[in-house]
Structure 1
Amino acid sequence: MAITRELLIGGRDVPAASGRTAEDIDPFTGDVYARVAAAGPEDVARAVEAADAAFPAWAALAPFARRGIFLRAADLLDSRAEQAVALMGRETGATRGWSLFNVALAANILREAAAAVTAPRGAVLSAQEEGALGLAVREPLGVVAAFAPWNAPLILGVRAVAAPLAAGNTVVAKPSENAPIAAGLFVADVLREAGLPDGVLNVVTNAAQDAAQIAEALIAHPRVGAVNFTGSTGVGRLVGAHAAQHLKPAVLELGGKNAVMVLDDADVDYAVDAATFGVFMNSGQICMSGDRVLVHESVADAFTRRFTAKVASLPAGDPGLPHTVIGPLVSAAAARRVAALVRDAVAAGATVLTGGGEPEGAVHPATVLSGVTADMELHYAEAFGPVCVIDTFGDDDTAVALANDTENGLTCGIITENATHGLAVARRVHSGIVHINDQSVADEPHAPFGGVKASGYGRFGGRWGIEAFSHTRWVTIATQQARYPF
């Protein structure tokens, strides 16, 4: 029997004002896993008003009390790992390994948020006037509208709210309709149990067809002070435009068309293992996934042979089985979209080295292509599935040009045994993140995470997250009376 969940507004579980619900589908079985309340604009307004009412007390709460809530929430999340595995598997088709990784990193994001609460912030400024003291004071913005995607629902659901809350804001979260529980309500459950006061975090779930209307209502509400969005570049452009229209700051972490570069001095066996992980973890449904594997000509034959064989051996199918690597995509429609990209490339002359063909339901075969050219859609489109393209280069200039030939700029992996060589190449890659002698998928809660170009702007992690969701006020104190000219 499908489970049911309602909206979280002001600390209470409430139905949508309209009484409507939306179905949450298990992508592997096609069954209805859950039914959630389908919010309308009136529910968004109620949630923002609840957050606004809770803001003064939350912002004034003693830092050690606020920190304690995050630390308890982290421990609670760790203790619910098996519940999270079952939830993510049914809601998004996530494999066990990916789900446990989500739990571990999300818990550490909460711990980093706890540390950020009591970390020094602001500055003492030199003043022009004698006896005066200048202060740059960081203060919360108010209510933050937080949008969390489905692909890493615990990591990104927690990241959507942790830094804004740690900075003293209250939040209205809108999780993806593909993961309304894992990316929103489950995160809220953990924080509520940890002692988060009523109204500090509110969650509005919605039907897919209402997503744009709900997002616009949330961003436009006059009590919302900032926007936090993680998702596709296409939707991010719309969210950024809406935020700008209302003169509200936004942090946008968007899509990637990331490269894993295998230089001539790479350990080929290590490069094969690293690239396989970077491309196919979570069936390629990670913003940091390596869509493109760029290999130096001198090692291309050996790498391609071993890489293709390894990819062909990856276990695929039921995400509930412990050894599955290639689980279902988030929906059968998503698998068909990936298959269409592959078909288009093959029809235009690309070669399938392994995989290809039609998906079984939401499960698309792990696929490696070569010979993909600029006239094929896959050359520039984010695959967001278990597909990558191998290309070769003869020198660093060509490798850098290939890596930069995209409107996106999120992350890059450079496989090399020579760190000096790797750093020289990394300095020329236009991305917000570069990993030398590693693949493209990595995240640490204290590091500045974010992209450039069409991969967005703003940074998560550590002090950067606090700065993103607070503003600076200049405050002066005159220790003696000033003299005025009139």
Structure 2
Amino acid sequence: MPVATEQQGRQIPLWINGQDVVTSKVFDVQHPSTGKVSSKVCGASEDDVTRAIEGARAAFPAWAKTPATTRRDILFKAAALMEAKKDELAAAYSHDTNASPMIVSFDLGAALTHMKSGATIATEVRGEIPQTSDGSLALVTREPYGVVFSVCPFNMGLVLCVRTFCYALACGNTVVIKASPAIPFLHYSLGALLKEAGVPDGVVQILQFAPGTEPERTEQIIAHPHIRMANFTGSTKVGSIIGSLCGKYIKPCLLELGGKAPILVLESADLKMAANNIVFGALLHSGQICMSTERVVVVESVADKLVEEIQAIAKNELPALGHMELASKLGVEKMDRLVSDALSKGAKRLTVESVEDKKVAEGAHAYLPVILDNVKPDQDIYYQETFGPGFVIIRAKDTEDAVRIANDSEAGLSASVWTRDYKEALDVARSIESGAVHINGSSVHDEPNLPHGGMKTSGFGRFNGMAAIQAFTQTKAITMHEPHALPIAILK
């Protein structure tokens, strides 16, 4: 397991106006594998937050007027630097958390794709000339909002952070980033990289909030008149708070929240292939992906056979997925609570012969993969996202019942359908209340060229291209009139 050993307790400053800012309020981050302090992180004060916002606002006019081709070239250079510094970024990744080489490689590749995509759309921001009722000339342009507040999650530390700012920058916005305290060194490292790429000082600010100060600092940012929109990826609980604050202060927001992704396995499905995708989609990165497979909804006629295939795949392939470990003690406690509740109410824990049927001792937050059968609605795990290494099997009477079960959820980010009947697959896919439905594929699939929204409480989902332009710009209507007198008399 990659663990930072040579630089224990590395100081992580804030990044404001292109400079490191060291604060007196410092908190420790413990590496989940060792439990030892890996970083000492500077927390932003009220004054630090104000300075970051004002710096981003001061940088906005010049950045918004920067030629689109220049913004494009800067983002392409940032992508090139990320590729050139991939070993440094991988080391920064492992400094504060444990991610398998496969995840680090995948995450870096996805981040590069989004950075390049952001560069590409910089020159694609266009307006239109609509018809007007009186024949006057009207122009509708797309303008950047101004300063965007972006909150980055920990689980896919590069791509989900890069995605929060690259499209906003491409459209001419400046960004104040609230980095993840779980991977502070990785997110902090992006500041100097962007500066080297040519991003002007103040265009990207990177902050950390000390534990206990998050509510106050978050409201301070959203309430500030220079903050024009918020962009959050994370839990439904925190997303609800962000959304409420944006409503309170009348700010637009983009939210990608939790998932409870179902895989529907129908009668004609290739069960061996479905089982492979289920295990991979549920346990990759210890289940800490918003699109991770959480629910396997299988029609009763093939349920027993699917369970056999899942156990065989798990027995043979689990080692390839690497050590299962959660990012925090809270994640371990949540998994324990959900699994214990389900078992006490009749769920059956399937045995996996390649590992012992208990929590492993190695690693401070290590956790054994959990597969539960016979899961029912009275069990908390039926509805609640685990965000951990496990999934549940829910047996349905038939296809119609499988669709009903899949839609019995507050989340609707990603789903999957397995069947050899493609007409059935399309009919079922259209019936599932999810922003993305993959046919004969894993629920964990991010195609950046296919934007999709989230349904229910999943928020906006993924975006790229024109969807990103629409997300990070606002419309402005400009109408040219011939000078004429208004009939003031009718107003008297």
- CA separation in 2, counterparts of 1:428 and 1:192? 47
- CA separation in 2, counterparts of 1:418 and 1:454? 30
Letter in 2 for 1:222: P
Of 326, 341, 344, 2:341 maps to 344
- CA separation in 2, counterparts of 1:135 and 1:236? 35
Of 131, 145, 149, 1:145 maps to 149
Any idea what SS the aligned residue of 2:409 has?
coil
Any idea what SS the aligned residue of 1:127 has?
coil
Question: After superposition, what is the alpha-carbon deviation per residue over 1:394-416, rounded to whole angstroms, capped at 9, x for unaligned?
Answer: 32210110100111111101122
Matches within 5 A, 1:253-272: 253-272=256-275
Deviation larger for 348-357 or 214-223: 348-357
Of 334, 346, 350, 1:353 maps to 350
Of 29, 36, 49, 1:24 maps to 29
- CA separation in 2, counterparts of 1:401 and 1:198? 52
Matches within 5 A, 1:196-345: 196-315=199-318, 323-345=320-342
Any idea what SS the aligned residue of 1:176 has?
coil
Question: After superposition, what is the alpha-carbon deviation per residue over 1:102-123, rounded to whole angstroms, capped at 9, x for unaligned?
Answer: 1000011011101111114222
Instruction: Please tell me whether the aligned partners of residues 298 and 396 of structure 2 are also in contact (alpha carbons under 8 angstroms).
Output: yes
Matches within 5 A, 1:61-460: 61-130=66-135, 132-182=136-186, 184-315=187-318, 323-354=320-351, 357-360=358-361, 361-457=364-460, 460=463
- CA separation in 2, counterparts of 1:252 and 1:311? 34
Instruction: Please tell me whether the aligned partners of residues 94 and 327 of structure 1 are also in contact (alpha carbons under 8 angstroms).
Output: no
Aligned residues: 475
What residue number does 1:320 align with? none
Instruction: Please tell me whether the aligned partners of residues 95 and 185 of structure 2 are also in contact (alpha carbons under 8 angstroms).
Output: no
- CA separation in 1, counterparts of 2:398 and 2:87? 47
Instruction: Please tell me whether the aligned partners of residues 359 and 366 of structure 2 are also in contact (alpha carbons under 8 angstroms).
Output: no
Instruction: Please tell me whether the aligned partners of residues 250 and 458 of structure 1 are also in contact (alpha carbons under 8 angstroms).
Output: no
Question: After superposition, what is the alpha-carbon deviation per residue over 1:278-331, rounded to whole angstroms, capped at 9, x for unaligned?
Answer: 111111001111110112233222221121222244456xxxxxx552431102
Of 2, 12, 23, 1:5 maps to 12
Any idea what SS the aligned residue of 2:214 has?
helix
Instruction: Please tell me whether the aligned partners of residues 27 and 40 of structure 2 are also in contact (alpha carbons under 8 angstroms).
Output: yes
Give the C-alpha shift of residue 181 in structure 1: 2.6
What residue number does 1:319 align with? none
Letter in 2 for 1:255: G
- CA separation in 1, counterparts of 2:340 and 2:94? 28
Letter in 1 for 2:105: L
CA RMSD of the aligned region, Å?
A: 1.8
Give the C-alpha shift of residue 21 in structure 1: 1.3
Q: From the superposition, tell whether residues 163 and 115 of structure 1 become closer, same or farther in structure 2 (CA, over 3 Å).
A: same
Instruction: Please tell me whether the aligned partners of residues 29 and 38 of structure 2 are also in contact (alpha carbons under 8 angstroms).
Output: yes
Deviation larger for 408-417 or 106-115: 408-417
Deviation larger for 381-390 or 86-95: 86-95
- CA separation in 1, counterparts of 2:278 and 2:98? 22
Deviation larger for 186-195 or 356-365: 356-365
Any idea what SS the aligned residue of 1:64 has?
helix
Give the C-alpha shift of residue 80 in structure 1: 2.3
Give the C-alpha shift of residue 375 in structure 1: 1.4
- CA separation in 1, counterparts of 2:118 and 2:452? 14
Letter in 1 for 2:185: I
Instruction: Please tell me whether the aligned partners of residues 228 and 252 of structure 2 are also in contact (alpha carbons under 8 angstroms).
Output: yes
- CA separation in 1, counterparts of 2:158 and 2:26? 23
- CA separation in 2, counterparts of 1:242 and 1:359? 41
Letter in 2 for 1:181: F
Letter in 2 for 1:15: V
Tell me, yes or no, if structure 1 residue 462 matches structure 2 residue 469.
no
Question: After superposition, what is the alpha-carbon deviation per residue over 1:402-432, rounded to whole angstroms, capped at 9, x for unaligned?
Answer: 1001111111011222332211101111111
- CA separation in 1, counterparts of 2:450 and 2:211? 33
What residue number does 1:473 align with? 476
Question: After superposition, what is the alpha-carbon deviation per residue over 1:54-97, rounded to whole angstroms, capped at 9, x for unaligned?
Answer: 00000000111000011111121122222233322332321110
Letter in 2 for 1:333: L
- CA separation in 1, counterparts of 2:282 and 2:381? 15
Give the C-alpha shift of residue 193 in structure 1: 1.6
- CA separation in 2, counterparts of 1:454 and 1:485? 49
Unaligned runs of 5+ in 2: 1-7
Q: From the superposition, tell whether residues 216 and 98 of structure 1 become closer, same or farther in structure 2 (CA, over 3 Å).
A: same
Deviation larger for 261-270 or 402-411: 261-270
Unaligned runs of 5+ in 1: 317-322
- CA separation in 1, counterparts of 2:81 and 2:409? 41
Letter in 2 for 1:208: P
Instruction: Please tell me whether the aligned partners of residues 39 and 184 of structure 2 are also in contact (alpha carbons under 8 angstroms).
Output: no
Instruction: Please tell me whether the aligned partners of residues 419 and 437 of structure 1 are also in contact (alpha carbons under 8 angstroms).
Output: no
Any idea what SS the aligned residue of 1:209 has?
coil
Give the C-alpha shift of residue 242 in structure 1: 0.5
What residue number does 2:5 align with? none
Give the C-alpha shift of residue 259 in structure 1: 0.1
Any idea what SS the aligned residue of 2:431 has?
coil
Give the C-alpha shift of residue 445 in structure 1: 2.4
Q: From the superposition, tell whether residues 58 and 120 of structure 1 become closer, same or farther in structure 2 (CA, over 3 Å).
A: closer
Of 40, 49, 63, 1:44 maps to 49
Taking structure 1 as the reference length, the TM-score comes to 0.94
Instruction: Please tell me whether the aligned partners of residues 298 and 394 of structure 2 are also in contact (alpha carbons under 8 angstroms).
Output: yes
